[in-house]
Amino acid sequence: MLSPGGVSAALLLAAVLTTSEALKEGECEVCVTFLGKFYGSLRERKADLNSGDVEKALLESCGAAKGKENRFCYYIGATSDAATKMINEVSKPLSYHVPVDRICEKLKKKDSQICELRYDKQLDLSSVDLKKLKVKDLKKILEEWGESCKGCAEKSDFIRKITELMPKYAPAAASARTDL
């Protein structure tokens, strides 16, 4: 049996251990953001949050996910080409209204790659000089828009394509630019 001092020391140790497992600011960025948006959409639909319905909705959301969010879905097994299935590690806790950051903490213990996912830094298209960007970055802009540049061989071809499409995909940036 522990003495009163031993009990408080044990409680302090337990508190330190549990807080060290908590997510740090900015950690699991894609997991927390994606699941937060997903949970918000479930709440908006006023969906009955049973595990099966949450799982079905998660598979639908992951079907439409692109980029880092698609990679997150792959890691939890919510894509058709995924090797593992951890969907129930997300759907069950969400059906019980467990906070998203707690779910991501548990996922991190199962697969650390989940919390290594970060969103790419977004460019401010209204002020960035497209001529100073690398072709790789220009291609990434087009990819994010779901577009490609067939027949583009030169950097100027990619810049021309981006400036053509900017009013459609980034109208605020297009109207702010004076070089278009």
Q: Which domain holds residue 137?
A: 130-176
Domain boundary among 92, 116, 140: 116
Model confidence over 110-121: pLDDT tens digits? 999 999 998 877
Token pair 């779901």: residue = 146
The enclosing domain of 106 has a CATH number of 1.10.225.10
What's the token pair of residue 36? Answer: 């937060």
The identity of residue 37, as a single letter, is K
Does residue 102 sit in the same domain as residue 170? no
pLDDT at 97 over 60: yes
Residue 158 lies inside a defined structural domain of this protein: yes
160 and 112 inside one domain: no
Is the pLDDT score of 125 beyond 90?
A: no
Handedness of CA 85, 86, 87, 92 (dihedral sign): positive
Is 100 in contact with 58 (CB distance < 8 Å)? no
Do residue 60 and residue 33 come from a single domain?
A: yes
Cα–Cα distance for residue pair 115/118, rounded to 1 Å? 8
Same domain? For 100 and 134 the reply is no
Taking the chain, what is the end-to-end CA distance rounded to the nearest angstrom? 77
**DSSP code for 130:** G
Same domain, 109 and 171: no
Residue 17 lies in a domain: no
Calpha distance 145→171 (Å, rounded) = 13
Residues 62 and 40 in one domain: yes
pTM to 2 decimal places: 0.65
How many independent structural domains does the chain possess? 2
Q: What pLDDT does 48 receive?
A: 67
